[in-house]
Amino acid sequence: MLRPAAKRAGLSSIGWHSLRHSYRTWLDETGAPITVQRELMRHSTIAMAMDGYGRGVASANGKANARVVGMLLDDGEEHASEPSFQ
């Protein structure tokens, strides 16, 4: 059912597992702790949740880094390279 719909939409190589990867990425974007992600993805270990589906989205990594830099600077101002988590 999914593959024919994807083909009609002009998408190729999409299946249910693609949606699983998307779900994991979206969980990462929400800032959900990895323990919560592991449980929702029904992985037996945190290592499987981390290794099996990557290390998250590059923009989330940048946001996390910018927050740490902002905490270190502690000047009370929001920096251009310091986007907020949403």
Q: Are 19 and 8 in contact (CB under 8 A)?
A: no
- Residues 6 or more apart whose CB falls under 8 angstroms from that of 11 comprise none
Q: What is d(CA 4, CA 12) in angstroms, rounded to the nearest whole number? A: 10
* Residue labelled with tokens 């940048």: 62
Q: Can you give the residue ranges of every domain in the chain? A: 2-55
Average pLDDT for runs of 10 along the chain of length 86: 84 81 84 89 84 62 77 68 48
What's the pLDDT at 12? 79
What's the pLDDT at 86? 47
Q: What is d(CA 38, CA 34) in angstroms, rounded to the nearest whole number? A: 6
pTM: predicted TM-score of the whole model, two decimal places: 0.54
